C-alpha cells in the first residue's frame, strides 16, 4: 500500500481556512481526536494516496524452490520455526500442504507448474502432406477443366470453318 501524503493546510487565506474546517469536520465525523500534537493542528493533514494499486501478479514457484522449502520445513523441529520460515518467505501453510501432496503423487510430475488453458490437439504427421496433395489435386482439376474447354472451342471452330481434324496425328506427334 502506498504511504499517506502530507498536505499543507496553512491558514493563509479563506480557502485554506475553509479546507481546514472541512477536513477537521470530516476527521471528527470519523472519530479522529485532534490534539495539539495532531497534524491538523499544525496545518498538515494525512490524506491516503488516491491511486488505485495495481493488481498483483500471480506468483509462480519453480520446482527447485518448492523442494528447497519442503526440505527446510522438514528440518524445522522446534515450535514456531515453520511459522518463521513461512513469514520469511512470504508463504502460507497451504503452500506447503499442496506441495507435499504434489510430492507424494510424483516428484517430477507434481512439482512442475501446470500449463493453464486448453490442451493442444495432437497433430497427425501426415496431415500436412494430405493438405498439400489436396491442393495439388484441385489445381490439376482446374487445369484439366480449362484444357477441355479449349479443346471443345477448337472443335466447334473447326466445324464452322470446315476444317477436318486428325486427332490421331496430333496424339502421335506428342
d(CA 154, CA 150): 6
Least confident of 14-18, 147-151, 166-170: 14-18
Question: How many helices and strands, by DSSP H and E, does the chain display?
Answer: 7, 2
Q: Is the dihedral of CA 95, 101, 103, 106 positive or negative?
A: negative
* pLDDT tens digits for range 163-173: 877 666 555 55
The residues near 96 (Cβ < 8 Å, ≥ 6 apart) are 69, 70, 73, 82, 86
pTM passes above 0.75: no
User: In the numeric block, which cell numbers belong to residue 23?
Assistant: 477536513
d(CA 25, CA 40): 11
* pLDDT tens digits for range 58-104: 888 888 898 899 999 999 889 999 999 999 999 999 999 988 888 88
User: In the numeric block, which cell numbers belong to residue 118?
Assistant: 486448453
> Residue range 125-151: average pLDDT?
94
Amino acid at each position: 500500500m502506498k504511504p499517506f501524503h502530507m498536505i499543507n493546510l496553512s491558514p493563509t487565506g479563506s480557502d485554506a481556512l475553509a479546507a481546514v474546517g472541512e477536513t477537521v469536520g470530516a476527521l471528527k465525523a470519523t472519530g479522529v481526536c485532534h490534539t495539539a500534537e495532531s497534524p491538523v493542528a499544525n496545518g498538515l493533514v494525512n490524506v491516503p494516496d488516491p491511486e488505485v494499486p495495481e493488481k498483483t501478479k500471480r506468483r509462480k514457484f519453480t520446482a527447485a524452490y518448492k523442494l528447497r522449502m519442503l526440505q527446510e520445513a522438514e528440518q524445522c523441529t522446534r515450535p514456531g520455526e515453520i511459522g518463521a520460515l513461512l513469514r520469511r518467505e512470504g508463504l502460507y501453510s497451504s503452500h506447503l500442504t499442496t506441495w507435499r501432496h504434489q510430492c507424494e503423487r510424483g516428484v517430477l510430475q507434481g512439482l512442475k507448474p501446470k500449463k493453464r488453458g486448453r490442451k493442444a490437439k495432437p497433430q497427425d504427421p501426415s496431415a500436412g502432406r494430405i493438405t498439400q496433395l489436396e491442393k495439388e489435386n484441385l489445381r490439376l482439376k482446374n487445369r484439366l477443366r480449362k484444357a477441355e474447354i479449349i479443346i471443345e472451342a477448337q472443335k466447334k471452330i473447326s466445324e464452322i470453318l470446315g476444317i477436318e481434324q486428325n486427332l490421331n496425328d496430333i496424339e502421335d506427334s506428342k
